[in-house]
Structure 1
Amino acid sequence: MEFKAPVLRRFNEYQMLEDVFLENPRENEVRVRMAASGVCHSCVSVELGEQPDIPLPIILGDEGAGVVEKVGPGCTSLREGDHVILSWAPGCGRCRLCASGRPALCENASPFGMPDNSSRFYVSDEPVSHFGPSTYSPYVVVTETAAIKVTTKMPLDRAALIGCAVTTGIGAVLNTAKVGVGESVAVFGCGGVGLNAIQGAALAGAHPVIAVDIEDSKLEVAREMGATITINSANVDAVDAVRGNTSGGVDYAVLTVGIISVLEQALAALRVAGTCVLVGAPAQGQLAKVDPLHLLAGERRLVGSRYGSYNPQIAFPRLVDLYLSGKIKLDNLISHRYELDQVNEASRNLVSGHDVRGMILFD
């Protein structure tokens, strides 16, 4: 089938709507008609050339939901009409990490195409790379393990958020950090992932839950998501403010922005035996200075979190249930809705801080 989709051909240039041809699903693959796609910082970092090894041309988008329209041969877990959330980390299902329930760390992952490194997108005869599930495209073909079925009671625009921001943020707190009741948490960066880390901390019973950002509008949303203390680091020293509101530092600092100076702040804000969880990815090649004695003397730790240390097959339906039961909030995360031809405007608004999470809606 053929349709219009935004294609990125050069870094630091606009995505352009082009006539894209999509192959039919092959064995154990499905075609999904997209309903909604979140606009994520990971995609913006590709547009800005911060990941220069990304193959171009490419169709971006790593957070979305839609409806299964066609199933390929051998597909047994999905049927036409199923509502699904797309995962950017389906995993091969065979390596030791997939077998242990950690597909985001799959040893055989193919991030820019299908598992055999081929593409299903073409412009004329030119293959176009996939950015994970490429949710900016109105139609996608993915492996059946990348499309997780959820109840039709779940609104698909809210479901799209679970495909990345919700799973990544909540999981960083509940799974990677394993925050306990009464332990203190500071979240540095209150975008889509950071706000979900805040509500993950609230779910865990953390106290206090501290939100740190440079935008008052995002700090206001952070309070709605469960933050008990907010700090505008454009006006005060964030480390001093965090320490002043705790007993010399927090048990857990969660960093959701890829800024090295903020990573150093998060580490400095830890109390003895505290843990810093790194979620936001800096530009490729950037290095941080870490004082080994700061870690050693107080048994502090710096750990990474990829996709919230979650298995999407288990996490997505569980997070949907939490939303439908009122345990987590998603409605106030969507700050603006866009049509497909506004994809570049959505990217600009995310970079400027105007949007918490922009959402592209498809017909």
Structure 2
Amino acid sequence: MKIRAAVLHQMGQERPYTHSQPLTIEEVELKKPEAGEILVKIHAAGLCHSDLSVIDGNRPRQVPMVLGHEAAGEVVELGAGVNDLKAGDHVVFSFVPICGHCMPCMTARPALCENGVAANNKGVLLGDGIRLYDRQQKQIHHHMGVSGFAEYAVVSRKSAVRIDRTLPYDIAALFGCAVMTGVGAVINTAKLLLGQTVLITGLGGVGFAALLGALAGGASKIIVADINKDKLKTALELGAHEAVDSSEANALEHIRDLTGGGVDIGMEFAGVVPALEFTYNATARGGKTVTAGLPHPSKMMHLAPVKLVAEERTLQGSYIGSCIPARDIPAYIALYQSGRLPVDKLMTHTLNLNEVNEGFERLAKGEAIRQVITSF
């Protein structure tokens, strides 16, 4: 079938993206789903910093590629062997397809699925298939097994989680990355305990979702840090207890004063090494630092092992919030529906597909929290 999709042909184009137009809206061919796959009509797709990191070259991927990994839609067609979904079901995508039989999957760590990560790195679906082609029948790669910036997507059944049909698609899309990653990092990776103090550095969509997760999880004091004063103000309006401009000379001392020596849990979502170092240094002795940021692979942080050992600190990564998507996405949706996780407040803009480059320029300038494409 012929569909419209946003295709990236070259990474690292100059900003502003409103002029360079790194994503081109093209008519591409989408092949039918094969065994173990499904065809989904996309109804909403969020713009995430992980997409931006591919556009600017900080997260190198195979090109040409249809971007978009945070999306929700309606099942249209089932490939052979898919018998636990039906046409008309609503789904949210997990951007790590979960094979279910590698060692990480079998030990309840599907975020580290070996086959899913290998497929994502190659720009193919789980099982090595490619279903996207240009007019010359040349292959176009899939982004994170989803490629959600398009009218339709063919994905592995293991990339999709069925959700409540009453949830609006634009809200549902947020659970595929921002909420799963941010809330999951708080609950699954950091394992927040009631009454602990938390620092959240980097207020993008994931950082704000982590703020909401820390509130829902019972943190006693939540401090947010960023260099964007508007985002700090928004965080306070959403429930943060203190806001710190991390560019100020006394920012670390201020956090230590607020917490009597440092926070129990420091969480970094900015995706730059100085932010991670700042967060690590703001944790207390015995504290835990969790990062879900993705700097360029060449970037390194400075760490004194003696401090790590003598103060029994923990530094831990978190990918897709250490989630089991089929378990956690419905659970987080239920929290939203009960009013305890108001993720709808993260949405600042809705777009149509033709405005995708304008949206990424806005994201790069720090002028948006979550933008969602709702018209294709």
Please report the TM-score for the alignment, with normalisation by the length of structure 2.
0.94
Q: Which shows bigger deviation, 157-166 or 87-96?
A: 87-96
Paired with 1:148 and 1:264, the residues of 2 have a C-alpha distance of 35
Give the aligned partner of residue 245 of structure 1.
258
Structure 2 residue matching 1:287: 3-state secondary structure: coil
Structure 2 residue matching 1:280: 3-state secondary structure: coil
Paired with 1:51 and 1:153, the residues of 2 have a C-alpha distance of 35
Residue 306 (structure 1) aligned with residue 319 (structure 2): yes
Q: Deviations over 1:68-111 (max 9, x none)?
A: 11111111111100011011112111112112232210111210
Structure 2 residue matching 1:157: 3-state secondary structure: helix
Residue 39 (structure 1) aligned with residue 47 (structure 2): yes
Q: Following TM superposition, by how much is the alpha carbon of 1:122 offset from its aligned partner in structure 2, in angstroms?
A: 0.4
Paired with 2:301 and 2:138, the residues of 1 have a C-alpha distance of 39
Paired with 1:333 and 1:157, the residues of 2 have a C-alpha distance of 11
Paired with 1:166 and 1:95, the residues of 2 have a C-alpha distance of 26
Q: Return the letter of the residue paired with 1:36.
A: A
Q: Return the letter of the residue paired with 2:362.
A: N
Give the aligned partner of residue 18 of structure 2.
none
Give the aligned partner of residue 19 of structure 2.
none
Paired with 1:73 and 1:333, the residues of 2 have a C-alpha distance of 38
Paired with 1:298 and 1:233, the residues of 2 have a C-alpha distance of 23
Please report the TM-score for the alignment, with normalisation by the length of structure 1.
0.97
Check whether the contact 1:238–1:265 (CA below 8 A) recurs between aligned residues. Answer: no
Residue 3 (structure 1) aligned with residue 12 (structure 2): no
Check whether the contact 2:97–2:126 (CA below 8 A) recurs between aligned residues. Answer: no
CA-atom RMSD, angstroms? 1.2
Check whether the contact 1:77–1:144 (CA below 8 A) recurs between aligned residues. Answer: no
Structure 1 residue matching 2:326: 3-state secondary structure: helix
Q: Following TM superposition, by how much is the alpha carbon of 1:332 offset from its aligned partner in structure 2, in angstroms?
A: 1.4
Give the aligned partner of residue 341 of structure 1.
354
Paired with 1:36 and 1:336, the residues of 2 have a C-alpha distance of 12
The correspondence for 1:318, drawn from 331, 335, 359, is 331
Structure 2 residue matching 1:258: 3-state secondary structure: coil
Q: Following TM superposition, by how much is the alpha carbon of 1:237 offset from its aligned partner in structure 2, in angstroms?
A: 3.2
Moved over 3 A (4+): 234-237
The correspondence for 1:92, drawn from 94, 99, 105, is 99
Structure 2 residue matching 1:173: 3-state secondary structure: helix
Listed as ranges, the gaps of 5+ residues in structure 1 are none
Check whether the contact 2:43–2:170 (CA below 8 A) recurs between aligned residues. Answer: yes
Paired with 2:188 and 2:237, the residues of 1 have a C-alpha distance of 22
Alignment of 1:210-249 (within 5 A): 210-235=223-248, 237-249=250-262
Paired with 2:247 and 2:204, the residues of 1 have a C-alpha distance of 16
The correspondence for 1:65, drawn from 72, 82, 102, is 72
Q: Return the letter of the residue paired with 1:88.
A: F
Structure 1 residue matching 2:177: 3-state secondary structure: helix
Check whether the contact 1:65–1:160 (CA below 8 A) recurs between aligned residues. Answer: yes
Structure 1 residue matching 2:32: 3-state secondary structure: coil
Give the aligned partner of residue 187 of structure 1.
200
Paired with 2:59 and 2:269, the residues of 1 have a C-alpha distance of 17
Q: Following TM superposition, by how much is the alpha carbon of 1:116 offset from its aligned partner in structure 2, in angstroms?
A: 2.4
Give the aligned partner of residue 56 of structure 2.
48
Paired with 2:318 and 2:218, the residues of 1 have a C-alpha distance of 20
Q: Following TM superposition, by how much is the alpha carbon of 1:236 offset from its aligned partner in structure 2, in angstroms?
A: 5.1
The correspondence for 2:283, drawn from 264, 270, 275, is 270
Q: Return the letter of the residue paired with 2:170.
A: D
Give the aligned partner of residue 77 of structure 1.
84
Give the aligned partner of residue 207 of structure 1.
220
The correspondence for 2:124, drawn from 92, 113, 122, is 113
Structure 1 residue matching 2:176: 3-state secondary structure: helix
Residue 127 (structure 1) aligned with residue 134 (structure 2): no
Q: Following TM superposition, by how much is the alpha carbon of 1:216 offset from its aligned partner in structure 2, in angstroms?
A: 2.2
Q: Following TM superposition, by how much is the alpha carbon of 1:233 offset from its aligned partner in structure 2, in angstroms?
A: 2.2
Paired with 1:135 and 1:236, the residues of 2 have a C-alpha distance of 42
Paired with 2:344 and 2:249, the residues of 1 have a C-alpha distance of 30
Q: Following TM superposition, by how much is the alpha carbon of 1:235 offset from its aligned partner in structure 2, in angstroms?
A: 4.2
Number of equivalent positions = 362
Residue 28 (structure 1) aligned with residue 41 (structure 2): no
Structure 2 residue matching 1:51: 3-state secondary structure: coil
Check whether the contact 1:180–1:206 (CA below 8 A) recurs between aligned residues. Answer: yes
The correspondence for 1:258, drawn from 266, 271, 280, is 271
Using a 3 Å threshold, how does the CA distance of structure 1 residues 302 and 134 change in structure 2: closer, same or farther? same
Check whether the contact 1:37–1:61 (CA below 8 A) recurs between aligned residues. Answer: yes
Q: Deviations over 1:103-143 (max 9, x none)?
A: 21011121011122221100021100111111111210011
